[in-house]
Amino acid sequence: MQEPHAALGRACREARRSWAKTVVGGCLAGLLLAGSCAGAETPVRQASAPPDSGRQDGTVPPGEDWAGAMAGVPLHPAQWTLAIPPGGDPKQKPDPTALILTPIANRFPLECDWFLQDWAPRSPADWWLASDRRAASLTLFERAVRELPDDRAAAFRQTLRSAGETTVESVLRLYQQVGRERRQQRLAALFARCPRIVFTKFQDEGQGYAPRPAVSDGRGGGFAPGGSLCLLEFDGSQLHTRTLVDSPQGMIRDPDVSFDGQRILFAWRKDARDDFHLYQYQVSDGHIRQLTAGKGFADYQGKYLPDGGIVFSSTRCVQTSDCIDIDVSNLYRCNADGSGIRRLGFDQVSTCFPSVLNDGRILYTRWEYQDRGQIFPQPLFVMNPDGTAQVGYYGNNSWFPTAIHHARGVPGTQKVLAILTGHHTPQMGELALIDTSLGREEAPGILCVAPLRRPAPVRVDQYGQQGDRFQYPYPLDETEYLLTFRTLF
């Protein structure tokens, strides 16, 4: 008799062969190859945060571009207090990141992201406090130009030499040109593997397992309208986004692309009186079909299964959390058309964030209250697609990590990519690889990435809330991921 995992693994691999180059993530959703997508095409740039805001097209007044803004910061820190926003405390010690970088980043997010990459691991304040900002700007230039092909790097260095006497601002403008070329190089490599990326726009969710904004009208508050299902494409030089489904009065979340690249699964709450239900978008013609329904029930976090079914989180269990007045979600599954809904687990509190491992099993986070306190109860579990063999995967008998969310299997490995976060925290945290061959409890099996390091097994409620924070990682392989990212500014 063959092992069930072996049979599941074969089915999953067969499905994935036709799913090649299709990528999915939480807010980031998935890549499509097959067919064409209906929808309105618009540039990806937004007025408040234009991706190519540093581009010099003759319309940006001198001194108003990124280079001018950076070079124009006063040399003396005492003058930085002028940047304190209305209502701020002038006696408080200025934080250069908050006072200086944040307003610049609001206007020029890409350039500030490049700056943080190329100036790391030093603090942004060190750049403004440098005794020679021109030399500090040349450091940025060299860090960036080294990533270009040799001939292009040589051309940029020659341009710098030919300029003769340079200023901080002129060096930063040349750095911007290098940054744009490096960005195109990076994007070309990504989109060669992933030509189109599906993602959703929606208001950030609240505290870890508290499903806020509210998933159902039954709980009332927490609803923040305005969301869309979108497609991101790269034309070789610029990114463009196409809105597939727009919901100004509702919310759209949890996109997932079918294994054949023909359908997009997503959860949609059309307005404040509605509940989240599963919908399906047909790539070829833009047809939208509602799969699940039920007044007062919320169905979300849906994932396609290799056997043709769908696994999802749902409040159909009609339970309330032990410690807070929120709906509990358990895992369910249904047929491809939404029929045959069946409960997979009977858990005291929520089981969420299902994903499909390389062997076909379902990986998920379980809020576990049995024989333990309320702060450290959110490990990873795994089950077969029919709900059998529900067992702990990582952290079921340990204090660390406090909570593991948004976990996904890494293609071609037995590892998992997830975020490590806290209990009373937003759904964001540190990015980490989990390798169960090194251990299944505490820290031995965990490698934090960005930067790479082995974490200490601490007991912290609000873990992972310092510095850069991540959400919804989608691994392309063991070293490259798509994800939602909030920088330190």
The domain spans of the chain are: 4-33+195-486, 66-190
The sign of the CA dihedral 311, 316, 318, 321 is positive
More confident residue, 134 or 17: 134
The pLDDT of residue 82 is: 53
- Per residue, what are the HEC states of 263-304? EEEEEEECCCCCCCEEEEEECCCCCEEECCCCCCCCEEEEEE
The pLDDT of residue 219 is: 59
Closest of 171, 206, 130, 209 to residue 375, by C-alpha: 209
Query: Is pLDDT at 22 greater than 70 in this prediction?
Result: no
More confident residue, 109 or 247: 247
The pLDDT of residue 100 is: 76
Q: What CATH number does the domain located at 4-33+195-486 have?
A: 2.120.10.30
Query: Is pLDDT at 367 greater than 70 in this prediction?
Result: yes
Tell me which residue has tokens 């945060």: 49
The pLDDT of residue 409 is: 97
Among 82-86, 91-95, 208-212, 283-287, which range has the highest average pLDDT? 283-287
What is the token pair recorded at 166? 């340079």
What is the token pair recorded at 8? 């599941």
What is the Cβ-side half-sphere exposure of residue 1, based on CA atoms within 13 angstroms?
Answer: 3
Q: How far is CA 291 from the centre of its chain?
A: 26
Query: Is pLDDT at 477 greater than 70 in this prediction?
Result: yes
Whether the CB-CB separation of 241 and 234 falls below 8 Å is answered with no
Whether the CB-CB separation of 16 and 188 falls below 8 Å is answered with no
Whether the CB-CB separation of 385 and 333 falls below 8 Å is answered with yes
Q: What is the mean pLDDT of residues 111-126?
A: 89
* Structure confidence at residue 378 as a pLDDT band (50, 70, 90): confident
Percent of the residues in the chain that have a pLDDT greater than 70, as a whole number = 78
pLDDT tens figures, 206-229: 555 555 556 766 555 567 788 999
Closest of 187, 163, 190, 193 to residue 175, by C-alpha: 163
Angle at 471 between CA 326 and CA 233, to 5 degrees: 120
Query: Is pLDDT at 232 greater than 90 in this prediction?
Result: yes
Whether the CB-CB separation of 365 and 382 falls below 8 Å is answered with no
Q: What is the mean pLDDT of residues 427-445?
A: 94
The pLDDT of residue 92 is: 53
In whole numbers, what is the pLDDT of the chain averaged over residues? 81
- Amino acid identity of 111? E
List the strands of the sheet with 277-282, edge to edge.
251-257, 263-269, 277-282, 288-290
Percent of the residues in the chain that have a pLDDT greater than 90, as a whole number = 51
Beta bridge partners of 252: 268
**Separation CA 434–CA 441 (nearest Å):** 11
